[in-house]
Amino acid sequence: MAGVVEVGLGRRTRRWLAAWAWVVFAFLYVPIVVLVVFSFNSSSRVNIWGGFSLGWYGEALSNEVIISAVRVSLIVAFVSTVVSVVLGTAVALALDRYRFRGRRTLDGTVYLPIVIPDITMAVMLLVFFAEAFKLIDSFGPRLTLGISTVALSHIAFNISFVCVVVRARLDQFDRTLEEAARDLYASAWETFRRVTLPLIMPGIAAGGLLALTLSLDDVVISAFVSGPGSTTLPVYVFSSIRRGVTPELNAISTLMLAASIALVLGSLALQRRRASASQQTQVL
Amino acid sequence: MQPARRPRAGTGSSGEAAAAQAKRRQGMLLASPGALYLLIFFVVPLALISVYSFATRTSTGRTSLSGWNVESYEAIGDDIILGIIGRSAWLATLTTALCLAVGYPFAYYLATRPRHVRAILLVLVMIPFWTNGLVRVFAIRFLLGSNGPASALSESLGFGTFRILFTPTAVTIGMVYSFLTLMVLPLYVALERMDWSLTEAARDLYAGGSKAFWKVTLPLTKSGIVAGSVLVFVPSFGSYVVPDILGGAKTLLIGSYIARQFRDARNWPLGAALSVLLIAAMLIAVALNQRSGSGAEGGDRRRARRRGRAADEAEPVTAAV
């Protein structure tokens, strides 16, 4: 079914479909393009084009608050991605190939953070930290919301996403490859290290990329569990938008946009290279 | 915590039992760090919020964990709150319907392209999907603002300025814009996998184009329609960022209302009760989707794609690229 599927639609219907598709693409892209174009506007009034300028970028990048927010976002994204990739992959492996007590409960629970709305996850964690701090503070230390509570919260939802992605990969796994390795006297660890891990690596990488993106994207949960000085970039942008639209916000948004597009294209390129590499090895 | 090994009849089977047990232990060991993390940072918070929903709000706005009652749940029966829930449900339904109406022909077009064109078009669909959600809502806010580019354009064309920002219309546009891809992807998968020879057979048996579509194609892609609808409905119903940025006082939705209880209003028990309700509603929606899913594989896929980018996120794209 490689070619165009002729499904017996009339010529007119087919033309309408094509036109519609391009209308939808325009709907998806026009707002983003307009935003990017106006980030280069030299005028400080948002609706008047005053000529090309990089001034708002300069302004945004010299803003201490923004730089600190970027740093917080990157630290949280890095930490939560690394931790959730390790924990999520382990859970995925355990669920896929072992039978143990509590397996079904875990299987059901691991999907919940994906399903429930951000706002409920946010208030749940807020209440949790409030209670946990009350408990811990009674032993002496005075804990407050900060960068660590943001990271802990991001790990909580990222584990589930990594687990789901890695499991999808494990579903397609050819177990005979592992058996072959064992038959050739590889130890369990060697089999895992040299056979299993390389084969599920694309799944782990995809899960990690997803975790990274979700962490960098999150506004709602971060807004509730961050404290003063631990504002992430999306939280900063969110609260700025509420105060009003400025060209500086366009510039920051464009930079965030560029970063996420670079991530997607980078990962696509990586997948492609890996795909062609595996084809080559198959030929050999 | 290892149960005593029971002696078995044959040495072979006792060896096997020991091996099986070792394997069980290994599995538990592997799962336990992640499971423990979820227990502490997800299950306990979930339990806490349920407990809070039965707590009392003191006059200072603190939450007193004594004197358990169901007042917060009774308060939900209040006209204002029922109105907010009704509005949220209505806007989420409208968003879902619009996404379906916009997304189905779009997905149909994508799925019927030649393979290499499909790959490129899919990447074009995925790019906005992967870009920062907040930035995309901001783009709509910027575009629709009363002194924004869209208004300036309509003014220069002689239609006058328009004010749709801070109205339910703006919120609906923003939600469709944010969640459209969540509808398109499952529809695309369903259409791409469809056995078109069935539609052709209908045509051969003299069904008209539209009849073949309504009687054959549409029912065959029902799984995609249901999955896409759940994927769009769930985040729209609990949406907080979109109505907060694009909506005004008249479009207070349940997500914002919950947030408000935990911030300014300081009525945590009420916010907790509403959260419990929201979680329950989402779980019911997802369970219904699961049940209507035909075949375990379809169910797994859908579960995987829930809230969008999850799971075989890469699958349709890499399969095509």
Contact flag A165-B313 (C-beta cutoff 8 Å):
yes
Can you spell out the DSSP letters for B176-232? HHHHHHHHHHHHHHHHHHS-HHHHHHHHHTT--HHHHIIIIIHHHTHHHHHHHHHHH
pLDDT at B309: 43
Question: Is residue A224 in a domain?
Answer: yes
CA distances for B178 relative to A34, B69, B133, angstroms: 17, 39, 7
Selected residue with higher pLDDT from B102 and A63: B102
Tens-digit pLDDT string for chain B (321 aa):
444 444 444 445 677 888 888 888 888 899 999 999 999 999 999 999 999 999 988 877 788 777 788 888 988 988 999 999 999 999 999 999 999 999 999 999 999 899 899 989 998 998 888 888 999 999 999 888 877 777 777 777 877 777 788 888 999 999 999 999 999 999 999 998 888 888 878 877 877 777 888 888 888 889 899 989 999 999 999 999 999 999 877 788 999 999 999 988 889 999 999 999 999 988 888 888 777 654 434 444 444 444 444 434 334 433 332
Selected residue with higher pLDDT from A174 and A1: A174
> For the complex shown, is ipTM > 0.95?
no
- Contact criterion met (CB below 8 Å) for A69 and A232: yes
Q: Which of A32-46, A88-102, B149-163 is the most confident on average?
A: A88-102
State the nearest Cα–Cα gap between A63 and chain B, in angstroms: 19
Sign, CA dihedral A119-A123-A128-A130, equals positive
pLDDT at A48: 72
pLDDT band per the 50, 70, 90 thresholds, residue A46: low
- Contact criterion met (CB below 8 Å) for B34 and A91: yes
- Contact criterion met (CB below 8 Å) for B123 and A37: no
Question: Is residue A247 in a domain?
Answer: yes
**How is domain B79-320 classified at the CATH fold level?**
MetI-like fold (1.10.3720)
**pTM exceeds cut of 0.90:** no
Chain B CB contacts of A12 below 8 Å: none
E strands present in A194-271: none
Instruction: State whether residue B306 is helix, strand or coil.
Output: coil
Question: Is residue A155 in a domain?
Answer: yes
Contact flag B112-A32 (C-beta cutoff 8 Å):
no
Degrees (nearest 5) of the Cα angle B171, A77, A171?
85
The CATH number covering residue A93 comes to 1.10.3720.10
Contact flag A17-B200 (C-beta cutoff 8 Å):
no
pLDDT at A132: 93
**What tokens were used for B222?**
């029902």
Chain A CB contacts of B306 below 8 Å: 111, 114-115
The torsion angles phi and psi of B204, rounded to 5 degrees, stand at: -65, -30
Question: Is residue A212 in a domain?
Answer: yes
The domain tally of chain A equals 1
| Residue A131, domain extent | 64-283
Nearest residue to B235 via CA among B134, B106, B88: B88
CB atoms within 10 A of CB A173: 15
| Residue B284 to residue A194: CA distance in whole angstroms | 43
Can you spell out the DSSP letters for B107-161? HHHHHTS-HHHHHHHHHHHHHHHHS-HHHHHHHHHHHHSTTSHHHHHHHHTTS--
Query: Which amino acid would we find at residue A128?
Result: F
Degrees (nearest 5) of the Cα angle B165, B107, B174?
10
Per-domain residue ranges for chain B? Answer: 11-52, 79-320
CB atoms within 10 A of CB A246: 16
Average pLDDT, chain A: 87
Selected residue with higher pLDDT from B82 and A271: B82
Rounded (10°) CA dihedral B1, B4, B8, B14 = 40
pLDDT at B7: 45
What are the counts of helices (DSSP H) followed by strands (DSSP E) for chain B? 17, 2
Which range is least confidently modeled, A45-49, A226-230, B205-209, B311-315?
Answer: B311-315
Q: What is the DSSP letter of A6?
A: -
pLDDT > 70: percent of chain A? 93
Question: Is residue A37 in a domain?
Answer: no
pLDDT at B293: 57
pLDDT at A8: 59
pLDDT at B269: 93
Question: Is residue A246 in a domain?
Answer: yes
pLDDT at B127: 86
pLDDT at B10: 46
| Residue B318 to residue A271: CA distance in whole angstroms | 7
Contact flag A217-B132 (C-beta cutoff 8 Å):
yes
pLDDT at A279: 58
**What tokens were used for B63?**
């939450």
pLDDT at A6: 53
Query: Which amino acid would we find at residue B95?
Result: T
- Contact criterion met (CB below 8 Å) for A161 and A114: yes
pLDDT at B8: 44
CB atoms within 10 A of CB A258: 12
Contact flag A245-B141 (C-beta cutoff 8 Å):
yes
pLDDT tens-digit map of A64-86: 999 999 999 999 999 999 999 99
Contact flag A128-B44 (C-beta cutoff 8 Å):
yes
| Residue A233 to residue A68: CA distance in whole angstroms | 8
pLDDT at B303: 42
Chain B CB contacts of A29 below 8 Å: 128
- Nearest residue on chain A to B135, alpha-carbon basis: A253
State the nearest Cα–Cα gap between A21 and chain B, in angstroms: 5
pLDDT tens-digit map of B226-243: 989 999 999 999 999 999
pLDDT at B62: 80
Selected residue with higher pLDDT from B85 and A192: B85
